[in-house]
A and B are shown apart, each in its own frame.
Chain A
Amino acid sequence: MAPLDFAIVVKNIPYLWEGLQLSFGLAALAIVGGILFGAMLSVLRLSRFKPVALAALGYVNFFRSVPLILVIFWIYFLVPLVLGKATGPFLSAWIAFTLFETAYYCEIIRAGVQSIPKGQINAGLASGMTRLQAMRHIVMPQAFRNMTPILLTQSIILFQDTSLVYVVTLRDFMTSAATVANQELKLVEFYVFAAAVYFAICFTASRLVGRLSPAWIGSVRR
């Protein structure tokens, strides 16, 4: 086996950086969309009106039961049909990730809200607050603290999953690495480098989650 040549990787860093920026960008947009719609869906999921709660549950179960890569494909071919024009792979990937991740974020947020004891709402109601005021000032701040570590963990998984967008010809970090690896015929070097980069990013992020938990969340937990 020939000695490993990482100089060739260094030479290609600007190209790989472009791919990484796409990965970050897509992940960030999908996190924002997923948490936003996930929060809304969790409200429906907790609705006292049964059909609404069931519809929301149906959405969650559906997207948790299909592979992400299928959703990416599907939206890629479906969106132009619905909108009547080509939208490009980035927008369709963003839509696919948002739809998919909404289901997961919804469940995290729902569990966070339900983790707050009913007595806390009662304490708010007893002091004359409306249900909405009690949710906003008492339940939500606590629920958000409780769910932050899981939201961040889910976001790390989402970032890793952005590597699936190669199926719709998007050039994310993983795709960039695979492309140059084939061009330069240095598969081992580039795939080792790609693994190292993913590991560094995700490990650092998960360490941050670990640090956040006791300092910020533990101090207010009962």
Chain B
Amino acid sequence: MIEVRGVSKSYGPVQVLKSCSVAVARGEVIVVCGPSGSGKSTLIKCVNGLEPFDAGEIVVDGLSVADRKQVQTLRTRIGMVFQNFELYPHLSALDNICLAPMVVLKKKRAEAEERARALLARVDLAEHAGKYPLQLSGGQQQRVAIARALAMDPVVMLFDEPTSALDPEMIKEVLDVMTDLAAEGMTMIVVTHEMGFARRVADRIVFMDAGEIVEDRDPETFFTTPASDRAKLFLSKILGH
């Protein structure tokens, strides 16, 4: 479903991605973790072409991300959820969800709204359809953002630290929605520090450090017997508290 082959990227003299390769099969859930500045977010943004890359190749569902024409089509099939939600503050929750289907897929308003209401119900926010993002809590906003991404009927969902900007009591409601999605067979790449989620839901853990993919293995092995010292150090820091 997703093939990342030898992707490298530099900002000036700083190399943020060093020949990264990952393959994700249909229905797989991959959690990407690692210290801050390790290139996790950059890598996930390369997958839908929001970040251009210097070398390598990324193919999603048979389409090449590097191809400017194909990436446009590709993005309609890749849902993305951002750390800061990035809901459109001038639109209600309902209109946030309807916008892309209407603008990009040229759906009629009635059709887009019907689907949007169904999606809001699915993330347990049916009664908040008319509210604006600022009237919603962080957890609610992120759930609207997930519904917005699902409105394009994506075949892949990317999550870029979806719970990092949330207060602790709201993290669970967002992770629950993501867990449901995974259970339904959605192909997902999730950049997160939520190791409990990673352990329960992920099929594989990709551990990154300094722009490199250091480990790529199943959660059980990764958490109990990590191969690299870097992963051991990272886990001791993140699980030690």
A-to-B contact residues, CB < 8 Å: 117, 119-120, 122-130, 133, 137-138, 141-142, 145, 219-222
Contacts and interface: CB of A to CB of B under 8 A. Distances in A.
A119 B161 CA distance: 14
Contact of A138 (B79, B88, B133, B149): B88
B155 interface: no
B152 A219 contact: no
B4 to A, nearest CB: 17
Interface stretch (B19-27, B98-106, B187-195): B98-106
- Closest 5 interchain pairs by CB? A128-B76, A127-B100, A123-B86, A126-B80, A128-B75
A137 to B, nearest CB: 6
A175 B89 CA distance: 47
Most central of B73, B89, B152 by chain A CB within 10 Å: B89
B151 to A, nearest CB: 8
A220 B90 contact: yes
20 contacts: A120-B88, A123-B82, A123-B87, A124-B100, A125-B50, A126-B78, A126-B79, A127-B76, A127-B104, A128-B73, A129-B104, A133-B103, A133-B104, A137-B99, A138-B99, A141-B90, A220-B132, A220-B134, A221-B89, A222-B133
Given A137-B99, A142-B90, A220-B89, A127 B148 contact: yes
B54 to A, nearest CB: 19
Contacts of A129: 100, 103-104
B64 interface: no
Nearest to B51: A122
B10 interface: no
Interface in B49-87: 50, 72-73, 75-76, 78-80, 82, 84, 86-87
A123 B99 CA distance: 11
Given A126-B50, A126-B75, 20 more contacts: A119-B82, A120-B88, A122-B50, A123-B80, A123-B88, A124-B100, A126-B48, A126-B80, A127-B76, A127-B148, A128-B75, A128-B76, A128-B104, A128-B152, A137-B103, A142-B89, A142-B90, A145-B90, A221-B89, A222-B134
B88 A127 contact: no
A145 B90 CA distance: 9
Most central of B82, B86, B104 by chain A CB within 10 Å: B86
A168 B84 CA distance: 55
Most central of A123, A130, A142 by chain B CB within 10 Å: A123
A122 B82 contact: yes
A129 B82 CA distance: 16
Most central of B100, B104, B132, B148 by chain A CB within 10 Å: B100
Contacts of A119: 82, 84, 86
Contacts of B134: 219-222
A160 B132 CA distance: 38
Interface string B109-138: 000000000000000000000001110000
A125 B45 CA distance: 12
Contacts of A122: 50, 82, 86
B25 to A, nearest CB: 23
Contacts of B132: 219-220
Contacts of B48: 126
B101 to A, nearest CB: 9
